[in-house]
Structure 1
Amino acid sequence: MITTIALLKARGGLSRDEFVDYYENHHVPLVLGLAPSPALYTRNYLPEPGSRRFPADFDVITHLKFADEATRDAWLALVLAEDSGVAEDEARFLDRSRTRSWTVEEHATSS
Structure 2
Amino acid sequence: MMIKLIMCLHRRSDLTREEFLDYWQNKHGPFFMENAPVMRARKYVQDQTLSSPMNDAFRQSRGMAEEFDGVAEVWFESEEDLMEAMSAAEGQALAEALLKDEANFIDHARSCAFLVREQPF
TM-score bucket (shorter structure): 0.7 to 0.9
Alpha-carbon displacement from aligned partner over 1:53-74 (angstroms, at most 9, x marks no partner): 2242521111111111233224
Structure 2: 5+ residue stretches without partners: 60-64
Q: TM-score, normalised by structure 2?
A: 0.72
Residue pair 1:31, 1:79 contacting (<8 A) in 2 also: no
Correspondence for 1:30: 31
1:81 partner SS: helix
1:91 aligns with 2:103: yes
Aligned residues: 109
Residue pair 1:12, 1:95 contacting (<8 A) in 2 also: yes
- Change in Cα spacing, 1:49 to 1:12, as seen in structure 2 (3 Å) is farther
Deviation at 1:103, TM superposition (A): 1.0
Deviation at 1:38, TM superposition (A): 2.0
Distance 1:3 1:83 in 2: 17
Alignment RMSD? 2.6
Deviates more, 1:62-71 or 1:79-88: 79-88
Structure with the higher helix share, 1 or 2? 2
- Change in Cα spacing, 1:8 to 1:82, as seen in structure 2 (3 Å) is same
Q: TM-score, normalised by structure 1?
A: 0.77
Deviation at 1:7, TM superposition (A): 0.6
- Give the share of equivalent positions with the same residue, in percent: 28
